[in-house]
Structure 1
Amino acid sequence: MTAHFVWTCQWLLMIMCCCAVIYGAFAALAMPSFGARRSGDPFIDASRPLPAVSVLKPLCGAEPRLFENLATFCEQTHPCFQLLFGVSSPRDPAIAIVRRLQAAYPHIDIELAINSSVHGSNLKVSNLINMAGLARHDIIVIADSDIAVEPEYLITVSAPLADPSVGVVTCLYRAQGVGGFWPRVGALFINEWFAPSVRVAHAGGSRRFGFGATLVLRCATLARIGGFAAIKDSLADDYWLAEHVRALGLRTVLSEVTVATDVIEPTFTMLWQRETRWLRTIRSVNRPGFASLFITFTTPWVLAGALLVLHLCAATSAALHLFAAKAMALTTIAGLISRVLLHARSARHSRSFWRDLPLVPLRDILLAVQWVAAAVGSNVIWRGQRLPVDNRVGQPGSEIMKASDGR
């Protein structure tokens, strides 16, 4: 019985390793090569006048490179847009950054909202609620403070809304580490795990996502879901905003635009808190998806496969064991190739490929440990604020949504 149990466990481990290798190959192929551009955007109709856009950017503190990132929004080729920044304290150092922008770009419609009113447990959403009344245009773009964009960004991300069946447009993002070793490790979390997993899900037909890097929707759609008040107590506010829109029967579009974001956490502790917060947020909105994430950690499975090969070779010379050892050896080699290929397709250039290649095993193993840690715990820390993970307030069908519908 013991030998049978061990053999069953070995076959189960071989199956899991094969699944991880297959996923790694799909993830590598799903990623566009760095710098790849499309020949055209099917949503953009040059004969149509471009609708005016209000960009809402909630701010909190003077982050590294904040001026440079915000300045990319001032250099858009879109003919008519408003930049609306919001802070919750008159002493917020981000105010000075916005004043610099206003001085540097006097021809751009830049407005600053300073309002300390709190509307719910999510302070970012409170900020958005305070800003929303100042938005003057029919298209709303919500974008996090730490992203940088190309000059055609506003034109491209707002174009899909010309289709009445589209309710919200969102963007993936590419990370760059700012300030040392741990930011580099954090950038790999986004570039080589988060973004590929989204692209694999998207290729498989999933559209249940929404990312704070960019959310674009019509003012009328925002009003139909009850405004930002519908998500004022939600942890995953960006996801649930898009989910509310989908509940109206409207589609989500993942834009081909990939924006840039900074990873600035200088210490292991700060990076751990941020990434476990992300993983617990995934757990809160998609428990089956979170449970299946273990298959996306390629390096631990490759290492397990290599150890299994050594065990099978040393245990016995039986033909079945030798066949399994050879099959597992080929699987392990394929896993290594797929993981290196994913790293190559995610790298910004050849220098970053070689520089960060030694970090790949550390990144994957750390991610597996974080996944285990994120499976438990009922709170996360976000900008010094403790928020509950399993918060059901503000989701479609909740009391907030019923109130917004007049029920």
Structure 2
Amino acid sequence: MALALCGGAYAVATAVLAGRVLRRAPDPLPAPLPAVTILKPLHGDEPGLEAALASFLTQAYAAPVQLILGLHAEDDPAHAVAVRLRQRFSDRDITVVTDPRLHGANRKISNVINMMPHARHDMLVLSDSDISVGTDYLQAVAASLARPGVGAVSCLYTGRGLATAWSRLAAMDISYRFLPNAVFGIATGLAHPCFGSTIALTRQTLSAIGGFVAFADLLADDYEIGRAVRARGLALAYPPLTASHGCAQASFGALADQELRWARTIRTIDPAGHAGSVVTHALPLGLIGAALLGFSLTACVVLAGLLAARLSLKRRLDHIVGSSAGPSWLLPVRDVLSFGLFAVSLVGSTVDWRGKRLRIGKSGAMSSS
């Protein structure tokens, strides 16, 4: 119950800090705006893929923008989406690259390496295929990257269920577990994360950290890129906006595979921090504590307070980002599920990624399981 109360206090503190990260004044735009190449590695025709990609082509950005869509094979279903998008936006600079070469165990980074010879601009923005953004996205990213001392820009994101109840539960995990944790870490300076939603940097910085080839065998490529930038004495910046991560899980198995991959990756990167994050699971801890205390009156009052803290945090985040990942009544179910998967993530070193079973080494390097 003591751990649960700490988790409740954490939820309240995060609700207060959220505005500091997500509602701060935007950075001034650089003059002139830099030309941008957006790198989108693709694999499979995910639900909502075309709409997500199209959001990067409707930017309010008064400088050249190149979009590169990369695939490993022409028979990949995403190739038809890429061709259709290029026809639909025939007035935009869209390059489709199909190249089967692999440069390491990380197929996404191999895809990006194959795309790089076609990139024409100095400012590079790497973004996962399931990310959607608003029309002011590129302006905000370019403004943050132009700040003195900044080496890379990354963006916080919310979840958006696309199909089933499982996809909605997956979206709620992103919006009400991942996002609060990221907000708290950034606001307090305890964490300097880098996310696959956005990694924006210049060619000069990319070259200084060894290029994308330096991350070709690492599972947590986004985190490692951020760490390499910080190792050069440069800062990571986070513009005051949120992107949207499309969730398309059709079953519990798909949801569990993805969330265990994320959790075990974090455990590999920061085992002490991952274990310590148990305190953020306030409601499940409170339920266990209340059960051990025989659901006494005091225990039930504490449990009600914990539920109120979690619901208040959800409402605060929904208000700031302007959307909801799921209903309030489903939050306790999502919290219990998150705690169960957290417990499972404390053991094991294999992950499922794009249908392949991989083993994560202590260095974060991947190998076939």
TM-score (structure 1 length as normaliser):
0.84
The offset of 1:353, in angstroms, is 6.6
Is structure 2 residue 308 aligned with structure 1 residue 337? yes
Is structure 2 residue 49 aligned with structure 1 residue 62? no
Counterpart residue type for residue 10 of structure 2: Y
Flag the 1:295–1:38 CA change in 2: closer, same or farther, 3 A: closer
| Residue 294 of structure 1, aligned match among 278, 290, 293 | 278
Secondary structure in 1 aligned to 2:207?
A: helix
Counterpart residue type for residue 16 of structure 1: L
| Residue 389 of structure 1, aligned match among 346, 360, 367 | 360
| Residue 232 of structure 2, aligned match among 212, 226, 248 | 248
User: What does 1:121-270 correspond to in 2, within 5 Å?
Assistant: 121-270=105-254
Deviations 1:239-269 (A, max 9, x none): 1011111111100112212011111011001
- The root-mean-square deviation of aligned C-alpha atoms, in Å, is 2.4
The offset of 1:356, in angstroms, is 2.1
User: What does 1:340-379 correspond to in 2, within 5 Å?
Assistant: 340-347=311-318, 356-379=327-350
| Residue 79 of structure 2, aligned match among 70, 95, 101 | 95
Secondary structure in 2 aligned to 1:112?
A: strand
Q: Is the 8 A contact 1:126 1:232 kept in 2?
A: yes
The offset of 1:293, in angstroms, is 1.3
The offset of 1:188, in angstroms, is 0.9
Is structure 2 residue 6 aligned with structure 1 residue 23? no
Counterpart residue type for residue 136 of structure 2: E
Counterpart residue type for residue 344 of structure 1: R
Secondary structure in 2 aligned to 1:133?
A: helix
The offset of 1:373, in angstroms, is 0.9
Flag the 1:251–1:361 CA change in 2: closer, same or farther, 3 A: same
Flag the 1:364–1:378 CA change in 2: closer, same or farther, 3 A: same
Partner of 1:44: 29
Q: Is the 8 A contact 2:102 2:110 kept in 1?
A: yes
Flag the 1:355–1:376 CA change in 2: closer, same or farther, 3 A: closer
Measure the CA separation in 1 of the matches of 2:100 and 2:169. Answer: 35
Flag the 1:297–1:113 CA change in 2: closer, same or farther, 3 A: same
The offset of 1:386, in angstroms, is 2.4
Q: Is the 8 A contact 2:26 2:239 kept in 1?
A: no
Runs of at least 5 residues in structure 2 that lack an aligned partner in the other structure: none
Measure the CA separation in 2 of the matches of 1:347 and 1:215. Answer: 24
Secondary structure in 1 aligned to 2:159?
A: strand
Counterpart residue type for residue 177 of structure 2: W
Measure the CA separation in 1 of the matches of 2:24 and 2:249. Answer: 36
The offset of 1:37, in angstroms, is 7.8
The offset of 1:223, in angstroms, is 0.7
Flag the 1:39–1:271 CA change in 2: closer, same or farther, 3 A: closer
The offset of 1:208, in angstroms, is 2.4
The offset of 1:334, in angstroms, is 2.4
Partner of 2:257: 273
Runs of at least 5 residues in structure 1 that lack an aligned partner in the other structure: 1-13, 314-324, 396-407
The aligned length equals 364
The offset of 1:40, in angstroms, is 4.4
Counterpart residue type for residue 313 of structure 2: L
Secondary structure in 2 aligned to 1:256?
A: coil
Q: Rg: which structure is higher? A: 1
Counterpart residue type for residue 100 of structure 1: R
Measure the CA separation in 2 of the matches of 1:233 and 1:173. Answer: 25
The offset of 1:201, in angstroms, is 0.9
Measure the CA separation in 1 of the matches of 2:79 and 2:342. Answer: 37
Q: Is the 8 A contact 1:275 1:370 kept in 2?
A: yes
Counterpart residue type for residue 73 of structure 1: F
Secondary structure in 2 aligned to 1:388?
A: strand
Flag the 1:244–1:337 CA change in 2: closer, same or farther, 3 A: same
Deviations 1:307-327 (A, max 9, x none): 35546x5xxxxxxxxxxx75x
Flag the 1:380–1:200 CA change in 2: closer, same or farther, 3 A: same
